[in-house]
Amino acid sequence: MSERVIVIYDSTFGNTKIIAETISGEFKTGTKPVHVSEISVEALSDFDIIIVGSPIIGWKPTEKTQLFLDSIKAGMLTGKKAATFDTRVKLFIHGDAAKKMAEKLKNAGAEIIIDPQPFYVKGKEGPLYDGEIDGVKSWVKKIIALL
C-alpha cells in the first residue's frame, strides 16, 4: 500500500487506544497511532488516509477530539480519504461520536470512505467485548478493499 495512513485517537480507559493500535497494525505501514493531543492539523497534509477514533463522552467525542476536529478549516482535507470509529457501551440509547467526527471531516473536504464504526466495551471502563478486535480487523480489511 502506497497511501500514507494516520490513525488519530483519544482514549479514556485505554480501549480506544487498543483499537487504534490494531488498526495501525492491520495497515502494516509500521506507523503507530497518534494521540489527538500530539498532532497538529497542519500535519494532516502529509497523509492520504485519516482515521479518527474517540470514546463517547456525554453523547459525543471527547473534548480533545472535538477541539482538534473544530480546528480543521473548510477545504483543508480536500483529496483525503477518512474513516471514523468510536468506543461505546451497549445501551439502548447512546451517543454517536463516530458519526459526528465523520461529519466534521466531511465538512473539511475529506471523502468518508466507509460508514462510521462503533466498537463495544463492557461497562464504562471496559474491557472490549470478546470478538471486537476481530471486528476491528474486518473493518480495516473493508477499508483497504475500498482504496
Q: What is the pLDDT of residues 23-48, one digit of tens each?
A: 999 998 888 999 999 999 999 999 99
pLDDT at 93: 65
- Degrees to nearest 5, angle at CA 141 with 137 and 142: 120
In contact, 103 and 84? CB cutoff 8 Å:
no
Q: How far apart are CA 109 and CA 107, in angstroms?
A: 5
Q: What is the pLDDT of residues 102-140, one digit of tens each?
A: 999 999 999 999 999 999 999 889 999 999 999 999 999
In contact, 97 and 66? CB cutoff 8 Å:
no
Domain residue spans of the chain: 5-146
Q: Which CATH architecture has domain 5-146?
A: 3-Layer(aba) Sandwich (3.40)
